[in-house]
Amino acid sequence: MGRIPPMSAKRREEMKIYGKKRKAFLAKNPKCAVYPRRKATDIHHMRGRAGKLFLCEDYWLAVSREAHIKIGQEPQWARDNGYLCAKGEWGKQPEE
Protein backbone atom coordinates (compact mmCIF):
# COMPACT_ATOMS: atom_id res chain seq x y z
CA MET A 1 0.00 0.00 0.00
CA GLY A 2 1.16 3.52 -0.79
CA ARG A 3 1.39 6.30 1.70
CA ILE A 4 -1.52 8.68 2.10
CA PRO A 5 -0.35 12.10 0.96
CA PRO A 6 -0.28 14.69 3.75
CA MET A 7 -2.26 17.12 1.56
CA SER A 8 -4.71 16.51 -1.24
CA ALA A 9 -3.99 17.81 -4.73
CA LYS A 10 -7.00 20.13 -4.39
CA ARG A 11 -5.73 21.59 -1.11
CA ARG A 12 -2.24 21.99 -2.59
CA GLU A 13 -3.76 24.12 -5.39
CA GLU A 14 -5.77 26.12 -2.83
CA MET A 15 -2.58 26.73 -0.85
CA LYS A 16 -0.93 28.32 -3.90
CA ILE A 17 -3.90 30.68 -4.29
CA TYR A 18 -4.02 31.30 -0.52
CA GLY A 19 -0.35 32.29 -0.41
CA LYS A 20 -0.88 35.03 -3.00
CA LYS A 21 -4.15 36.25 -1.48
CA ARG A 22 -2.64 36.23 2.03
CA LYS A 23 0.32 38.35 0.96
CA ALA A 24 -1.96 40.91 -0.74
CA PHE A 25 -4.39 40.95 2.20
CA LEU A 26 -1.63 41.63 4.71
CA ALA A 27 -0.21 44.36 2.46
CA LYS A 28 -3.64 46.06 2.43
CA ASN A 29 -4.09 45.48 6.19
CA PRO A 30 -0.64 45.97 7.73
CA LYS A 31 -1.82 46.65 11.29
CA CYS A 32 -3.16 44.07 13.71
CA ALA A 33 -6.94 44.37 14.15
CA VAL A 34 -6.62 43.52 17.86
CA TYR A 35 -3.40 45.35 18.75
CA PRO A 36 -3.13 48.23 16.20
CA ARG A 37 0.39 49.15 17.28
CA ARG A 38 1.59 45.72 16.17
CA LYS A 39 2.23 44.50 12.66
CA ALA A 40 -0.23 41.98 11.23
CA THR A 41 1.56 38.74 10.37
CA ASP A 42 -1.28 36.18 10.45
CA ILE A 43 -4.66 35.70 8.88
CA HIS A 44 -7.31 34.71 11.40
CA HIS A 45 -10.21 32.85 9.77
CA MET A 46 -13.16 34.11 11.83
CA ARG A 47 -15.48 31.28 10.71
CA GLY A 48 -12.87 28.56 10.22
CA ARG A 49 -11.04 27.26 7.18
CA ALA A 50 -13.35 24.52 5.90
CA GLY A 51 -14.53 24.46 2.31
CA LYS A 52 -14.90 27.88 0.66
CA LEU A 53 -14.08 29.70 3.91
CA PHE A 54 -10.37 29.00 3.40
CA LEU A 55 -10.16 31.49 0.52
CA CYS A 56 -13.07 33.78 1.45
CA GLU A 57 -11.59 37.13 2.49
CA ASP A 58 -14.95 38.26 3.90
CA TYR A 59 -14.14 36.27 7.03
CA TRP A 60 -10.43 37.01 7.29
CA LEU A 61 -8.87 39.22 9.94
CA ALA A 62 -5.29 40.52 9.83
CA VAL A 63 -3.71 39.95 13.24
CA SER A 64 -0.36 39.67 14.98
CA ARG A 65 0.80 36.29 16.24
CA GLU A 66 0.06 37.40 19.84
CA ALA A 67 -3.49 38.41 18.91
CA HIS A 68 -4.06 35.13 17.07
CA ILE A 69 -3.04 33.19 20.17
CA LYS A 70 -5.31 35.32 22.40
CA ILE A 71 -8.28 34.76 20.07
CA GLY A 72 -7.71 31.00 20.28
CA GLN A 73 -7.27 30.98 24.05
CA GLU A 74 -10.16 33.34 24.86
CA PRO A 75 -13.02 32.58 22.46
CA GLN A 76 -15.72 34.38 24.47
CA TRP A 77 -13.63 37.54 24.64
CA ALA A 78 -12.98 37.19 20.87
CA ARG A 79 -16.71 36.81 20.15
CA ASP A 80 -17.56 39.78 22.38
CA ASN A 81 -15.11 41.92 20.40
CA GLY A 82 -16.07 40.71 16.92
CA TYR A 83 -12.90 38.71 16.26
CA LEU A 84 -14.69 35.33 16.18
CA CYS A 85 -18.05 34.34 14.76
CA ALA A 86 -21.06 33.74 16.99
CA LYS A 87 -21.71 30.26 18.31
CA GLY A 88 -23.42 28.21 15.64
CA GLU A 89 -21.75 30.16 12.81
CA TRP A 90 -18.45 28.23 12.85
CA GLY A 91 -17.90 26.53 9.51
CA LYS A 92 -21.00 28.12 7.96
CA GLN A 93 -20.20 28.50 4.28
CA PRO A 94 -20.45 31.88 2.55
CA GLU A 95 -23.46 32.69 0.42
CA GLU A 96 -22.80 32.58 -3.31
- Determine the average pLDDT of the residues in 60-88: 97
pLDDT of 4: 78
Q: Which one is predicted more confidently, 94 or 69? A: 69
Q: How far apart, in Å, do the first and last CA atoms of the chain sit?
A: 40
Q: Which one is predicted more confidently, 5 or 54? A: 54
DSSP state of 74: -
Q: How many CB atoms sit inside 10 A of residue 12's CB?
A: 11
Among residues 19, 59, 65, the alpha carbon closest in space to that of 42 is found at 65
pTM of the model: 0.88
Find the radius of gyration of the CA atoms of the chain.
15
Write the pLDDT tens digit of every residue in 37-67.
Answer: 999 999 999 999 999 999 999 999 999 999 9
Whether residue 81 is predicted with pLDDT greater than 80 in this model: the reply is: yes
3-state secondary structure of 71: helix
Whether residue 3 is predicted with pLDDT greater than 90 in this model: the reply is: no
- Determine the average pLDDT of the residues in 79-92: 96
